[in-house]
Amino acid sequence: MSKKKVKKKCSSILFTIFFLISIINSLLNVGSGFCQFSKSAVIIGELWGRVDPDDLLTYIDNGYYPVFNNGVKMKLNLEKKTPDEVVFRIKYSDKKWKGHPKWIVFRFFKSERSLAAAIITDQIDFAITESDEIAEEIDKSTKSIYIRHRFKKPNYVKMLAFNNKHQILKSKKVRKALTLAIDRKYIHKYIFRTQAFYADGPISKESKNYASSIKGYKHNPKQALLLLRQEKWYDENKDGILEKNGIPFKVSIVYEKGVLLEEQIARSVKIDWNKLGVDVITIPLTKKEIKRKLARRNYDVILMGYQFEDNFSFFKKVFSSKSQFNFLGYRNSTTDKYIKLYPNLNASSKLLMFHAIQNQISKDYPAAFLFFPWLERFLVNTSKFTNYRAQNKKLLPIVYWKFR
């Protein structure tokens, strides 16, 4: 049996064990709090690492949670907020919504496994997951959960954000070496289960503004090690860790706490970088903590999903060295020059210049752009609701659901 098959099998066994433990713990910890709103509320399960509780209304307004559509006149009033729970009262404009949800209750969990256990034991009515593995385990464990896929927005990219101001990561060759060392084929096959496109930059090939001249990158640990040696990184004391001027090559990868997909990717990248001689620490954090680190640029590497827009204005916002939103700390004089020239060009020249900007960014490796995930999964407790989907099986907004 190959190493990859052994690795996959062991991972599957561990997942099953942890999953069963989570279900047992969940059953032992069911309390009156989970029943308080059961007859009039939709209880949404969420993870500390994936969503900042302070941003819930923004997520609802942007349609991440399918709560309502433009045809529904309603508003949400914040009624309660604790470290583990946020409660909104739904205020409808008329009485025709009798029998529909009156409350939206968000309950937060430390891990996706414990959230899945709560779904299986009917403590949670709705949740979203990117993990096919989690959805599969839930589907095997209960027949009362309806699973509906939703495609990700274009140019939503899973990436490793490098702090370009970091003492070690400020080197373009180092960033390139770390990117080439990542075995994306393994992640694509065994973690995403092929449900993602490879990313060569922040814009998908499906975009009309994509620069087709961008050269993609492949897993090449030999070239990665050569690049590091060109930058004078050697294992001088034979301890397995590269050093330069007495400084060990040590970096941390921050990822979203409790999100299975993020845990798996971070672990895989850590193994690949360890093989180069890089000492890697993985740090799971809540979404609020990650936002704080990004704002202060107080990080080495962050594994994150980021929604890019395929236009010049957005690229200027993220990649201009003068922009306050340049959370990568990226700086390149050529990119800045192109950004400055762009507004004075005609339409055809602007497109060429936008391609040139993309090409320059690709050469600089300010981040390791990994994948464009295809979809995420909605999970609905059908034992509690009717009218949760339309005739075409598309999921209806939550306010249309009716209690059984």
Q: Which fold has domain 3-152+376-403?
A: D-Maltodextrin-Binding Protein; domain 2 (3.40.190)
DSSP assigned state of 259: -
Residue 126, pLDDT > 90, answer yes
* Whole-number Å distance between alpha carbons of 81 and 299: 29
The three-class DSSP label of residue 121 is coil
- Contact (CB, 8 A) for 265 and 187: yes
Residue 9, pLDDT > 90, answer no
Element (H, E) at 305: strand 301-307
Of the given ranges (6-15, 63-72, 112-121, 383-392), which has the lowest mean pLDDT? 6-15
Q: Where in the chain is the domain with CATH 3.40.190.10?
A: 3-152+376-403
Q: How confident is the model at residue 4 (pLDDT cuts 50, 70, 90)?
A: low
Element (H, E) at 42: strand 41-47
Kindly report each contact of residues 264-268 with a partner whose C-beta sits within 8 Å and lies 24 or more positions away, as own/partner: 264/11, 264/187, 264/191, 265/158, 265/187, 265/191, 265/303, 265/370, 266/303, 268/182, 268/183, 268/186, 268/187, 268/191
- Which residues make beta-bridge pairs with 378? 128, 148
pLDDT cut 90: percent of the chain above it: 84
Chain centroid, CA 399 distance in Å: 27
User: Integer distance in angstroms from the first to the last C-alpha of the chain?
Assistant: 50
Residue 27, pLDDT > 70, answer no
Closest CA to 44 of 123, 110, 140, 145: 123
Q: How confident is the model at residue 34 (pLDDT cuts 50, 70, 90)?
A: very low
pLDDT for res 26: 47
Question: 323: burial class by Cβ within 10 Å (0-12, 13-18, 19+)?
Answer: middle
Residue 47, pLDDT > 90, answer yes
- Contact (CB, 8 A) for 114 and 345: no
The three-class DSSP label of residue 156 is strand
Closest CA to 364 of 312, 321, 403, 303: 321
Give the pLDDT confidence of 332-377 residue by residue, as tens digits.
Answer: 999 999 999 999 999 999 999 999 999 999 999 999 999 999 999 9
Give the pLDDT confidence of 139-193 residue by residue, as tens digits.
Answer: 999 999 999 999 999 999 999 999 999 999 999 999 999 999 999 999 999 999 9
- Contact (CB, 8 A) for 104 and 42: yes
pLDDT for res 33: 45
pLDDT for res 35: 45
Average pLDDT over residues 393-401: 92
Report which of residues 30 and 303 the model is more confident about: 303
Average pLDDT over residues 276-290: 98
Residue 249, pLDDT > 90, answer yes
Give the pLDDT confidence of 310-324 residue by residue, as tens digits.
Answer: 999 999 999 999 999
pLDDT for res 175: 98
- Contact (CB, 8 A) for 342 and 350: yes
Enter the pTM of the model: 0.89
| Count of H-run helices and E-run strands, the chain | 12, 17
* Whole-number Å distance between alpha carbons of 196 and 157: 10
Report which of residues 263 and 12 the model is more confident about: 263
CA angle 46, 202, 214 (to 5 degrees): 155
pLDDT for res 30: 42
The CATH code that applies to domain 156-373 is 3.10.105.10
* Whole-number Å distance between alpha carbons of 244 and 236: 8
pLDDT for res 39: 74
Q: How confident is the model at residue 50 (pLDDT cuts 50, 70, 90)?
A: very high
Report which of residues 13 and 73 the model is more confident about: 73
Residue 28, pLDDT > 80, answer no
Residue 70, pLDDT > 90, answer no
* Whole-number Å distance between alpha carbons of 339 and 179: 25
Q: Where in the chain is the domain with CATH 3.10.105.10?
A: 156-373
Q: At residue 321, what are phi and psi to the nearest 5 degrees? A: -65, -20
Chain centroid, CA 30 distance in Å: 29
Residue 37, pLDDT > 60, answer no
Mean pLDDT over all residues of the chain?
91
DSSP assigned state of 210: -
Question: 71: burial class by Cβ within 10 Å (0-12, 13-18, 19+)?
Answer: exposed
Residue 31, pLDDT > 60, answer no
